[in-house]
């Protein structure tokens, strides 16, 4: 039986409010036989489930493509639902039936359809209150279809007739607001009714006007007033249409949200609630008229990334009293989100909670590393019946919660932690015979969840939480093994291109807020274009192409990628050696001077190495896009940079000028070592490891490539030894100290229990979790050999005393997996290859290759260590 399943449009199942005028379709083949390859496909698109009349019919297309098949029919209409289906034939002559229909619905593609205005309370720049908006909509007739399109300057929640719309939180997310403001689409057909209706919304400061880059004292970076924007479109069964929009007739009022800030938490007074305020029949005469802002529609864009949602809830592990007498909840996991609680008491009683990642060496509640972030919830009871509360316009990074105030005796069952993250499906799993490696994998995943909250932030707890480009680029491939990051990263890269400087320079953080702040901080006074950070403009799109086979991401980011490389070329000596500008270097490396954040590897070596790497990826991108002239141009540029690097940093006898681990790692990883001296470079790297007791001294730049630099150069044993170290400094040391996420510093908690500087000591910081890439591709042995995993490479590489490992990964074509076990003198292998793909299995030691078609395969292979 041959079937077409798992239909997706732009990486989504049945997307509502799609802003893409040429959406792409993907599907997965299912069959009860093996070696199934698609020979042809046929896609149909219609305006109804019956596909009569047809809007688009490809007829039979001879192609094995089953991902990102682009719609090429007549222009799509705004606010319209379309149905699509697929049938395929395989190379064995089987033909599938039509798939079950799937659908997508367009958003407002034609800007002339917008009628709404941005409405504001006209509140002052210093206010952190949540403002409530209310508008009425009268419907005369039976309703056939109704959609509400909404966004805000700030963070908003919206309701219709008292019912909250959707399950997303922290809407509309964070983008380069001056250039891109995302709106959300809500199907309100079942909630709207003939007669009187009310749209209600609460808007809080959020990223738009709240505190950002808090250590710089910055706020109001995009504007001084929060605002709501909403447009209701109703189609009646009699053929009529009604449009209700935010305008000067709406009302606004302060509500129970007294303060809401991303860094500081939320203050809520339940005594100020007005039941029914967002439903018909409420007396809003005390409310005031809104102010209409002079802002157009040119920046509006449909939601193009996964919404942030509540992912799960965690129960309290323990409720204890610290040596200082603090009542502290321990949820057993460092996470991002907030606390939901139940409470009963008198009107005016309060619940006050503070959040922290760790307890100090004495077991007391520790918040110094939050710097200026208050991370505090204050709730004032209305009194009477049991009350349930959770904040809505903030998030915090925490494991521990200190109960400063609570009426009565708090019990563990009164509290739960709500985990919040961008809603990306899980893609991979990793397990092996080493429990601490399994814990490391879990910690990487939790750090991803805690920091992928609409943008890839550095940390979720202190007064920072910015989209640092360097952190994102070192982690992007690891992230792809854990979660389906395609639309998440695509959305962020659009903002990178939007905020990129006219000269091609790339801001340190995306969205770019640092350039908006007068700044004397020596690390961010220049707000753009550090090597390894700006290279995210090239590395991230190329990685998405490798993982998802997505040519469109390369097409749309190409000018941004090219702009970055040209920016560097314009500042490099003779266009080849980049030895100017500000660089973070090998950030927080252990070989830094005492008190410094900068590792010992010279900036010009790191900068030129990344310049070479980005120019190589740009040449490969141009070739993938059939831009032959550019491909040749940047290929030659890359070759010239490599020659210049070798002349500058290698002696004639092959000694690398900088004797640091990171210098040797980058030279090996980016193909910069003269071939005749590669052996010496590898030996020196191993020597540097031995000189440090087998430990790394690398920072954010060197660490991601360390194990790969060893294993790719005949030093698999050393790579395993490095990975499996449990003493300081190492990945597993953190776990022995109780870590449940990845730390910012190897010595966040030192062996003697003391802590690193309070200035920068996050305990949820995914950069060092980039080793997860090596877990999947080397320990597990699963990798893409062609973009999008059209061809898979299975190459298990046992070592480190591990007796088994298992990886599973959902490729764009379906699930793949590899499990290996050492049994006696044999290596037992089980491999799953998705239909419509092929694989190569490369066996260890002898390097023999087995070609695999789709299906499940088992092997036994003689295995002798060494």
- Annotated catalytic residues are 464, 744
* C-alpha–C-alpha distance, residues 796 and 609, integer Å: 29
Residue pair 55/29 in contact by the 8 Å Cβ criterion: no
* C-alpha–C-alpha distance, residues 832 and 243, integer Å: 52
Q: Which residues pair with 157 in a beta bridge?
A: 202
Residue pair 85/43 in contact by the 8 Å Cβ criterion: yes
Phi, psi of 399 (to 5 degrees): -125, -35
- To the nearest 5 percent, what fractions of the chain are helix, strand and coil? 25, 30, 45
The helix (run of H) or strand (run of E) holding residue 457 is none
Task: Show contacts of 682-688: CB within 8 Å, 24+ apart.
Answer: 682/710, 682/713, 682/714, 682/715, 684/655, 684/656, 684/659, 685/661, 685/709, 685/710, 685/715, 686/710, 686/715, 686/718, 688/659, 688/660, 688/661, 688/664
* C-alpha–C-alpha distance, residues 262 and 204, integer Å: 10
Taken in order 576, 577, 582, 584, the sign of the CA dihedral is: positive
* C-alpha–C-alpha distance, residues 335 and 78, integer Å: 39
The residue written with tokens 């995943």 in the block is: 445
* C-alpha–C-alpha distance, residues 429 and 776, integer Å: 9
Tokens of 103: 């659908």
Tokens of 36: 């199934």
Among residues 477, 498, 503, the alpha carbon closest in space to that of 562 is found at 503
Residue pair 589/650 in contact by the 8 Å Cβ criterion: no
* C-alpha–C-alpha distance, residues 786 and 124, integer Å: 55
DSSP state of 663: H
Residue pair 690/697 in contact by the 8 Å Cβ criterion: no
Instruction: End-to-end CA distance of the chain: give it in Å, rounded.
Output: 45
**Torsion from C-alpha of 307, 313, 319, 322, nearest 10 degrees:** -20
Q: What are the angstrom distances between the C-alpha of 592 and each of 135, 587, 666, 677?
A: 59, 9, 17, 27
Q: What's the full length of the chain, in residues?
A: 866
* C-alpha–C-alpha distance, residues 499 and 510, integer Å: 7
* C-alpha–C-alpha distance, residues 45 and 96, integer Å: 18
**CA 447 to chain centroid:** 11
Q: Helix, strand or coil for residue 339?
A: strand
DSSP state of 293: P
* C-alpha–C-alpha distance, residues 191 and 159, integer Å: 10
């Amino acid at each position: 039986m041959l079937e077409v399943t798992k239909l997706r449009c732009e990486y989504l199942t049945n997307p509502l409010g799609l802003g893409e005028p040429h959406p792409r379709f993907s599907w997965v083949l299912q069959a009860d036989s093996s070696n199934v390859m698609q020979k042809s496909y046929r896609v149909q698109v219609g305006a109804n489930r019956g596909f009569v009349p047809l809007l688009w019919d490809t007829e039979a297309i001879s192609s094995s493509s089953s991902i990102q098949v682009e719609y090429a029919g007549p222009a799509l209409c705004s606010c319209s639902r379309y149905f699509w289906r697929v049938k395929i034939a395989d190379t064995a002559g089987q033909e599938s039936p039509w798939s079950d229909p799937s659908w997508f619905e367009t958003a407002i593609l034609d800007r002339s359809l917008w009628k709404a205005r941005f409405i504001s309370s006209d509140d002052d720049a210093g206010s952190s209150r949540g403002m409530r908006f209310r508008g009425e909509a009268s419907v005369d007739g039976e309703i056939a279809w109704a959609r509400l399109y909404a966004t805000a300057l700030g963070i908003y929640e919206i309701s219709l007739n008292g019912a909250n719309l959707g399950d997303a939180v922290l809407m509309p997310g964070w983008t380069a607001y001056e250039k891109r403001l995302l709106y959300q689409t809500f199907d309100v057909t079942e909630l709207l009714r003939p007669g009187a209706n009310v749209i209600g919304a609460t808007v809080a400061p959020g990223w738009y006007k709240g505190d950002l880059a808090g250590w710089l004292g910055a706020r109001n970076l995009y504007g001084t007033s929060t605002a709501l924007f909403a447009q209701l479109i109703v189609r009646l069964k009699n053929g009529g249409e009604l449009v209700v929009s935010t305008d000067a007739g709406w009302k606004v009022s302060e509500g129970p949200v007294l303060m809401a800030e991303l860094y500081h938490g939320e203050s809520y007074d339940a005594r100020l609630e007005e039941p029914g305020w967002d439903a018909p029949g409420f007396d809003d005469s005390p409310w005031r008229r809104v102010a209409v802002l002079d802002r157009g529609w040119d920046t509006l864009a449909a939601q193009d990334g996964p919404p942030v949602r509540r992912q799960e809830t965690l129960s309290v592990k323990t409720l204890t009293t610290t040596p200082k007498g603090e009542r502290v909840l321990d949820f057993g996991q460092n996470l991002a989100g907030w606390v939901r609680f139940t409470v009963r008491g008198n009107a005016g009683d309060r619940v006050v909670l503070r959040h922290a990642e760790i307890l100090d060496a004495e077991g007391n509640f520790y918040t110094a590393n939050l710097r200026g972030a208050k991370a505090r919830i204050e709730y004032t009871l209305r009194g009477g019946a049991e009350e349930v509360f959770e904040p809505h316009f903030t998030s915090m990074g925490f494991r521990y919660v200190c109960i400063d105030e609570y009426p009565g005796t708090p019990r563990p069952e009164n509290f739960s932690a709500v985990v919040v993250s961008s809603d990306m499906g899980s893609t991979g799993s990793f397990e092996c015979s080493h429990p601490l490696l399994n814990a490391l994998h879990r910690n990487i995943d939790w750090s991803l969840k805690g920091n992928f909250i609409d943008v890839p932030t550095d940390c979720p707890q202190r007064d920072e939480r910015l989209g640092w480009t360097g952190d994102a680029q070192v982690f992007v491939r690891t992230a792809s093994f854990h979660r389906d990051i395609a639309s998440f990263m695509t959305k962020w890269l659009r903002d990178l291109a939007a905020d990129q400087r006219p000269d091609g320079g790339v801001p340190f953080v995306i969205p770019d807020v640092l350039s908006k702040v007068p700044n004397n901080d020596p690390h961010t006074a220049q707000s753009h274009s550090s090597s390894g950070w700006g290279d995210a403009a090239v590395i991230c799109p190329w990685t998405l192409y490798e993982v998802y086979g997505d040519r469109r991401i390369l097409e749309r980011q190409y000018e941004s990628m090219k702009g970055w490389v040209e920016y560097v070329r314009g500042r490099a000596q003779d266009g080849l050696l980049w030895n100017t500008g500000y660089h973070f270097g090998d950030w927080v490396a252990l070989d830094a001077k005492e008190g410094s954040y900068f590792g010992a590897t010279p900036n010009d070596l790191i900068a030129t190495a990344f310049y070479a790497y980005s120019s190589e990826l740009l040449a490969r991108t141009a070739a993938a896009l059939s831009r032959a002239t550019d491909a040749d141009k940047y290929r030659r540029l890359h070759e010239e940079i490599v020659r210049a690097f070798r002349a500058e940093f290698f002696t004639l006898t092959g000694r690398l000028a900088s004797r640091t681990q990171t210098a040797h790692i980058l030279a090996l990883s980016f193909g910069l070592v003269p071939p005749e001296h590669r052996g010496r470079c590898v030996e020196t790297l191993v020597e540097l490891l031995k000189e440090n007791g087998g430990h790394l001294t690398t920072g954010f730049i060197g660490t991601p490539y360390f194990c790969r630099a060893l294993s790719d150069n005949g030093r698999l044993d050393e790579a395993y030894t490095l990975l499996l170290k449990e003493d300081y400094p190492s990945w597993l040391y953190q776990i022995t100290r109780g870590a449940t996420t990845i730390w910012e510093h190897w010595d966040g908690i030192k062996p003697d229990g003391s802590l690193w500087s309070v200035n920068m000591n996050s305990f949820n910081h995914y950069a060092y979790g980039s080793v997860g890439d090596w877990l999947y591709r080397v320990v597990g042995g699963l990798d893409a050999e062609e973009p999008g995993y059209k061809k898979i490479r299975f190459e298990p590489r046992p070592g480190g005393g591990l007796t088994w490992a298992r990886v599973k990964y959902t490729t764009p074509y379906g699930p793949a997996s590899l499990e290996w076990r050492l049994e006696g003198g044999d290596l037992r292998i089980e491999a799953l290859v998705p239909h419509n793909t092929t694989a190569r299995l490369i066996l260890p030691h002898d390097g023999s290759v087995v070609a695999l078609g789709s299906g499940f395969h088992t092997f036994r292979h003689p295995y002798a260590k060494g």
